[in-house]
Amino acid sequence: MRAIGNFFWFILGGVVMGLAWWVVGLLAFITVVGIPWGKACFVIGQFSFFPFGREAISRKELNQKDDIGTGALGFFGNILWFFFAGIWLAIGHIISALLNFTTIIGIPFGIQHLKLAGIALAPIGQTIVTTEIAAAARRANAETTVTTLRNRR
């Protein structure tokens, strides 16, 4: 089912937005300072080509610890990203979503474009993993939280 969804996704806007992510990534690499953003663009661009069966998750949520992208520097990086590229990629995904919403079969694809628009606004500190890994990480975090709360009593 994922393969069929990814095939139709690719045709219904995934290829255009994936290439847009890669173009922004190339521009970021040219600046040298933007290399971390460029790397994120290529990862999310690949995700934008074939999103079904994978999802974006915070690295803090995945690893249960902070890193440079999930802390204050990541927040600052996301602010810079928002103004230079994030808003434009998000607008592209929103336009693609609206076009997909014009057909009944396109509604799930439009919803996926809206999810990618959210990622486009603040990608630093996120990573792309399979849906199963994301669910396992959330389950592990929930178990850790429950254990912590029980031990406080």
Predicted structure pTM score: 0.82
Average pLDDT, the chain: 88
Does the pLDDT value for residue 98 go beyond 90? yes
Q: Percentage of residues in the chain with pLDDT exceeding 90?
A: 29
* pLDDT beyond 90 at 1: no
Helix (H) or strand (E) holding 75: helix 72-81
- What pLDDT does 72 receive? 80
pLDDT the model gives residue 20: 93
Q: pLDDT at residue 94 above 80?
A: yes
Q: pLDDT tens-digit profile of 103-145?
A: 888 898 899 999 999 999 988 888 889 989 988 988 988 888 8
Q: What is the spatial distance between Cα 100 and Cα 53, in angstroms, rounded to a whole number?
A: 20
Give the rounded distance of the alpha carbon of 75 from its chain centre.
15
Q: Which domain holds residue 34?
A: 2-152
User: What pLDDT score was predicted for residue 150?
Assistant: 87
Helices and strands per DSSP (H, E), number in the chain: 8, 2
Cα 46 to chain centroid, rounded = 10
Token reading at 45? 């661009």
pLDDT at 116: 92
Token pair for residue 118?
Answer: 């959210």
For 58-84, what is each residue's pLDDT tens digit? 888 888 777 777 778 888 888 988 999
Number of structural domains (the chain) is 1
